């Protein structure tokens, strides 16, 4: 230790007062005794001349051999990075180093040392070597790593967390932007997860989420690309991917895999998944825009019936804007007296006698005309305006029904959002009291959505309503989760079989008929009435009567009619309606009538798309185009596809695509890949989105290149019209 006692601090700054010789020897001892760390000393060549016991222990009982270099003690590490390099550099440069973290691997386990050292010089200023300390920082290091892991990962599933996904997406998009590469992202939302969580408990819910995470990782193939955003929402990052054929397939596989049954702690559960997809740069170059658009696509997938995927498109953005505007207007709709109740008669299946009516709300918008409740009720539900609107409907319905000469039953739709509101039974009681309608005439129609809410309060609401003496009907049965278990647990007086179910039942080979028979059988056994909804044709009428349904509601008897008209009819007790309508259900034909662009040579034509399949289309609007002519079709939003004319008659062209279109997840088709706006601009092409009629595609310098090869039928028609007008 003589070396130590002789050497003044290299920096020359005094570190204390008194006699340093005495302090340093003692200090060394105390420092080791307190296990704060160990002391090491090297000679001018970097070879270790002293190593305290503690360091020997930290380093896994190393034996000090002659001529052993300090660096060699730390050269046993599996850890990435070159920390020993930094140590070597400091030793050769004779620079002081402070708490240099050094990993060392002993028996497969990595431990961390923190090394500090300072060069020592003798009285003449000659370099003598290094003196320093070493401590074990493995525990601190592990704790820090765990914290970092927690900061990046979702503790439940081990997937990336939202924060990490956000920064990763941001970085990927920034670097891909420069390289002009695409990047896709998917948002995944589980269907019916809340129900599992509520009925089977949060423990099972958590275990289920872990299994979902593992399935997702298996399909995506890279754990570091999958994130749990929170709750039952997940996100997947797919750098470099833009092919919507591949993306659609992947989304379908995700939906199929996540919809397979799960076994969790002995319970079997089935959930579903919906997926929204957006691809940069087409659907947004910035992260926030891309994610918002994927979210809009997810919203559309969920509202389109769940268990499906949806690509983002401009239409979704417009629809979202439309919803926003409608929501604004809806705020004042009640005060402005724009809401109106219509009543649709409910008829006894065998007697054709009207037994009651369902109140169906109508919105007479000052500029947009009548808006369907299927459009504005969901908007009201999302913005919680539904409670105010629902209260108005209940009050007005009871008021109207109280005035009917015949005491017919009144059915009122109750949104799940209204139903879970703790004050709902009171609102019902007040409506009855204020209007004098007797409770047994009021029937509240509730959908299965209410069972997705918390159990205890649902039960309370049910018994409070039963206490009031009102009737309860389960609406839209057959569309939601359709669990017969609800029927046993909730005190329903009636089941309404959904119209999609009734409609499907008369199609050959449909199992709906058998299911309807089972529902009616069960309901009858439980003493409940049944209403078949949406009966339009005589074959449907015969079918539901044959199955023993007790009531029917549908256009075959009557649509919903204004209160005035209803009151007049309801004047007569014994009001009966003769069914009228078609004998059989007619198949609807989908005809398409959409403008698209067709580019040939340097000309851009507008044509009508009349039908579309994955391999080709029928377009209309160009005269006498030779077979074999090639066009580039512009479906909008950068969707360009090369097509060849296969048939040509007058203004109708049958064309075949060079690349097949792929499913857009919503029953439509889209091109696999898109042309970015940058590329269009770089090629000197205009933005085609606002085009009407044929026009020249001109280069950036504005030079027109040629004359159009084909006459546009649409143009010609317009020209002859204007000629007629001037003649
Ligand atoms: P819903 O409760 O299933 O109501 C039945 C819907 O089917 C009504 O559409 C009715 O006009 C229609 N309908 C009845 N018979 C036939 C038929 O034979 N063929 C066809 N194609 N349709 C038929 P509407 O009035 O457009 O209402 C749509 C949905 O909006 C309702 O479905 C209900 O979910 C909601 N809604 C309507 N009024 C209210 C309301 O006052 N409150 C709440 N919360 N929701 C309402
Ligand atoms: Ca209803
Ligand atoms: Ca219904």
Dump pLDDT digits (tens) for 230-261. Answer: 999 999 999 999 999 999 999 999 999 999 99
Our answer on whether the CB atom of 554 is closer than 6 Å to any ligand 1 atom is yes
Can you tell me the distance from the alpha carbon of 399 to that of 604, in angstroms, rounded to the nearest whole number? Answer: 61
Query: What is the model's pLDDT at position 151?
Result: 81
User: Could you tell me the pTM of the whole model?
Assistant: 0.66
Our answer on whether the CB atom of 359 is closer than 6 Å to any ligand 1 atom is yes
Which tens digits make up the pLDDT trace of 125-175?
999 999 999 999 999 988 888 888 778 899 999 999 999 999 999 999 999
Can you tell me the distance from the alpha carbon of 559 to that of 137, in angstroms, rounded to the nearest whole number? Answer: 79
Our answer on whether the CB atom of 555 is closer than 6 Å to any ligand 1 atom is yes
* Distance from the alpha carbon of residue 360 to the mean position of ligand 1, in angstroms: 6
Residue of minimum CA distance from atom 19 in ligand 1: 534
Closest-approaching ligand to the CA atom of 560: 1
* Distance from the alpha carbon of residue 272 to the mean position of ligand 3, in angstroms: 23
Our answer on whether the CB atom of 344 is closer than 6 Å to any ligand 1 atom is yes
* Distance from the alpha carbon of residue 404 to the mean position of ligand 3, in angstroms: 23
* Distance from the alpha carbon of residue 564 to the mean position of ligand 1, in angstroms: 19
Residue of minimum CA distance from atom 46 in ligand 1: 413
Question: Which burial class, exposed, middle or buried, applies to 260 when counting CB atoms under 10 A from its CB (0-12, 13-18, 19+)?
Answer: exposed
* Token duo for residue 33: 């005794």
Our answer on whether the CB atom of 393 is closer than 6 Å to any ligand 1 atom is yes
DSSP conformation letters of 554-601: STTT---EEHHHHHHHTTSTT-B----S-SSPPPP-----EEEEEEET
* Distance from the alpha carbon of residue 534 to the mean position of ligand 3, in angstroms: 8
Our answer on whether the CB atom of 397 is closer than 6 Å to any ligand 1 atom is no
Kindly give, in sequence order, each residue whose CB lies less than 8 Å from that of residue 22, ignoring residues fewer than 6 positions away.
Answer: none
Our answer on whether the CB atom of 360 is closer than 6 Å to any ligand 1 atom is yes
Closest ligand 1 atom to the C-alpha of 476?
Answer: 3
The rounded Cα 380 to chain-centroid distance in angstroms is 21
Our answer on whether the CB atom of 476 is closer than 6 Å to any ligand 1 atom is yes
Which tens digits make up the pLDDT trace of 538-589?
999 999 999 999 999 999 999 999 999 999 999 988 999 999 988 887 654 4
- Torsions phi, psi for 532 (to 5 deg): -90, 125
Closest-approaching ligand to the CA atom of 477: 3
Residue 220 per-residue DSSP state: H
* Distance from the alpha carbon of residue 478 to the mean position of ligand 3, in angstroms: 10
* Distance from the alpha carbon of residue 367 to the mean position of ligand 2, in angstroms: 27
Closest-approaching ligand to the CA atom of 531: 3
Can you tell me the distance from the alpha carbon of 694 to that of 496, in angstroms, rounded to the nearest whole number? Answer: 54
C-alpha pair distances (Å), 595 with each of 37, 351, 587, 675: 79, 51, 25, 19
Query: What is the model's pLDDT at position 26?
Result: 72
Buried b (16+ CB within 10 A) or exposed e, 101-126: ebbbeeeeeebbbbbbbbbbeeeeee
Low-confidence spans in the chain with pLDDT less than 70: 1-25, 78-81, 452-455, 480-485, 488-489, 586-592, 677-678, 680-706, 713-727
Q: Ligand 1, from 343, 357, 360, 449: best to mutate by most atoms within 8 Å of Cβ?
A: 360
Residue of minimum CA distance from atom 27 in ligand 1: 373
DSSP conformation letters of 104-144: EEETTEEEEEEEEEEEEE-TT--EEEEEEEEEE-HHHHHHH
HSE, side-chain direction, 13 A CA sphere, residue 124: 2
Our answer on whether the CB atom of 373 is closer than 6 Å to any ligand 1 atom is yes
Residue of minimum CA distance from atom 1 in ligand 1: 476
Our answer on whether the CB atom of 389 is closer than 6 Å to any ligand 1 atom is no
- Torsions phi, psi for 197 (to 5 deg): -60, -45
- Torsions phi, psi for 48 (to 5 deg): -75, 125
Can you tell me the distance from the alpha carbon of 192 to that of 693, in angstroms, rounded to the nearest whole number? Answer: 48
Can you tell me the distance from the alpha carbon of 513 to that of 491, in angstroms, rounded to the nearest whole number? Answer: 25
Q: Which of 547, 546, 493 is nearest to 520 (CA)?
A: 547
Q: Which of 227, 236, 150 is nearest to 186 (CA)?
A: 236
* Distance from the alpha carbon of residue 358 to the mean position of ligand 2, in angstroms: 7
* Distance from the alpha carbon of residue 500 to the mean position of ligand 3, in angstroms: 10
- Residue 510, strand partner residues: none
Our answer on whether the CB atom of 379 is closer than 6 Å to any ligand 1 atom is no
Our answer on whether the CB atom of 361 is closer than 6 Å to any ligand 1 atom is yes
* Distance from the alpha carbon of residue 510 to the mean position of ligand 3, in angstroms: 21
* Distance from the alpha carbon of residue 563 to the mean position of ligand 2, in angstroms: 17
Orientation of helix 138-152 relative to helix 162-179, angle to 10°: 70
Our answer on whether the CB atom of 372 is closer than 6 Å to any ligand 1 atom is yes
Can you tell me the distance from the alpha carbon of 649 to that of 624, in angstroms, rounded to the nearest whole number? Answer: 7
DSSP H helices, 563-609, are 563-569
Residue of minimum CA distance from atom 2 in ligand 1: 413
Degrees to nearest 5, angle at CA 456 with 451 and 460: 90
Query: What is the model's pLDDT at position 482?
Result: 57
What average pLDDT is seen over the chain? 86
* Distance from the alpha carbon of residue 343 to the mean position of ligand 2, in angstroms: 11
Q: Ligand 1, from 413, 496, 505: best to mutate by most atoms within 8 Å of Cβ?
A: 413
């Amino acid at each position: 230790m003589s070396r130590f006692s002789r050497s003044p601090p290299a920096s020359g700054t005094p570190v204390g007062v008194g006699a340093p010789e005495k302090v340093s020897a003692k200090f060394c001892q105390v420092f080791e005794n307190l296990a704060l760390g160990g002391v090491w000393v090297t000679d001018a060549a970097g070879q270790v001349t002293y190593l305290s016991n503690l360091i020997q222990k930290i380093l896994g009982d190393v034996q000090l051999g002659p001529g052993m270099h300090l660096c060699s003690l730390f050269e046993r590490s599996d850890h990435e990075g070159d920390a020993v390099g930094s140590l070597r550099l400091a030793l050769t440069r004779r620079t002081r180093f402070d708490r240099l973290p050094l990993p060392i691997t002993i028996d497969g386990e990595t431990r961390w040392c923190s090394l500090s050292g300072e060069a020592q010089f003798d009285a003449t200023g000659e370099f003598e070597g290094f003196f320093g300390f070493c401590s074990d920082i493995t525990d601190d290091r592990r704790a820090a790593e765990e914290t970092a892991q927690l900061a990046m990962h979702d503790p439940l599933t081990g997937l990336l967390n939202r924060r990490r996904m956000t920064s990763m997406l941001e970085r990927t998009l920034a670097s891909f932007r420069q390289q002009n590469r695409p990047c896709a992202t998917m948002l995944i939302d589980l269907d019916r997860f809340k129900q599992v969580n509520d009925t089977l408990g949060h423990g099972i819910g958590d275990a289920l989420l872990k299994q979902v995470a593992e399935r997702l990782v298996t399909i995506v193939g890279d754990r570091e690309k999958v994130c749990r955003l929170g709750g039952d929402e997940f996100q997947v990052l797919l750098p470099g991917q833009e092919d919507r054929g591949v993306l659609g397939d992947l989304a379908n596989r995700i939906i199929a895999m996540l919809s397979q049954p799960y076994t969790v702690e002995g319970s079997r559960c089935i959930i579903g998944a919906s997926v929204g997809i957006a691809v940069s740069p087409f659907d947004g170059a910035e992260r926030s825009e891309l994610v918002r658009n994927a979210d809009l696509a997810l919203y559309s997938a969920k509202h389109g019936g769940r268990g499906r995927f949806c690509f983002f498109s401009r239409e979704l953005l417009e629809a979202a804007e439309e919803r926003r505007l409608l929501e604004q207007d809806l705020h004042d709709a009640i005060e402005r007296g724009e809401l109106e109740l219509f009543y649709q008669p409910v008829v006894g299946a065998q007697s054709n006698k009207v037994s009651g009516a369902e109140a169906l709300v109508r919105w007479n918008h000052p500029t947009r005309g009548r808006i369907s409740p299927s459009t504005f009720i969901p908007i009201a539900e999302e913005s919680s305006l539904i409670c105010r609107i629902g209260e108005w409907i209940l009050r007005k319905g009871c008021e109207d029904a109280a005035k009917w000469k015949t005491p017919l039953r009144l059915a009122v739709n109750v949104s799940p959002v209204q139903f879970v509101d703790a004050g709902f039974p009171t609102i019902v009681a007040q409506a009855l009291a204020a209007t004098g309608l007797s409770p047994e005439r009021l029937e509240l129609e509730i959908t299965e959505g209410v069972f997705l809410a918390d159990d205890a309060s649902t039960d309370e609401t049910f018994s409070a309503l039963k206490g009031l003496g009102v009737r309860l009907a389960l609406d839209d049965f057959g569309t939601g989760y359709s669990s017969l278990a609800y029927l046993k647990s909730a005190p329903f007086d009636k089941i309404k079989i959904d119209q999609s179910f009734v409609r499907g039942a008369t199609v050959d080979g449909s199992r709906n008929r058998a299911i309807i028979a089972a529902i009616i059988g069960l309901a009858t056994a439980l003493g409940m009435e049944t209403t078949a909804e949406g009966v339009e044709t005589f074959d449907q009428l015969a079918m539901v009567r044959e199955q023993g349904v007790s009531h029917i509601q549908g256009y075959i008897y009557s649509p919903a009619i204004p209160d005035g008209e209803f009151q007049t009819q309801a004047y007569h007790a014994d009001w009966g309606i003769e069914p009228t309508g078609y004998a059989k259900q007619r198949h609807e034909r989908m005809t398409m009538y959409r403008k698209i662009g067709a580019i040939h040579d340097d000309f851009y034509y507008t044509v009508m798309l009349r039908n579309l399949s994955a391999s080709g289309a029928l377009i209309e609007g160009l005269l006498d185009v030779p077979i074999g002519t090639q066009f580039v079709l512009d479906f909008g939003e950068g969707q360009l596809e090369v097509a060849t004319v296969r048939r040509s008659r007058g203004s109708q062209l049958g064309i075949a695509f060079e690349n097949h279109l792929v499913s857009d997840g919503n029953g439509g088709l889209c091109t696999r890949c898109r042309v970015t706006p940058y590329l269009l601009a770089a090629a000197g092409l205009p933005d085609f989105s606002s085009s009407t009629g044929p026009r020249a595609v001109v280069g950036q310098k504005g030079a027109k290149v040629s004359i159009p090869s084909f006459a546009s039928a649409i143009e010609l028609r317009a020209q002859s019209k204007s000629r007629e007008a001037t003649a």
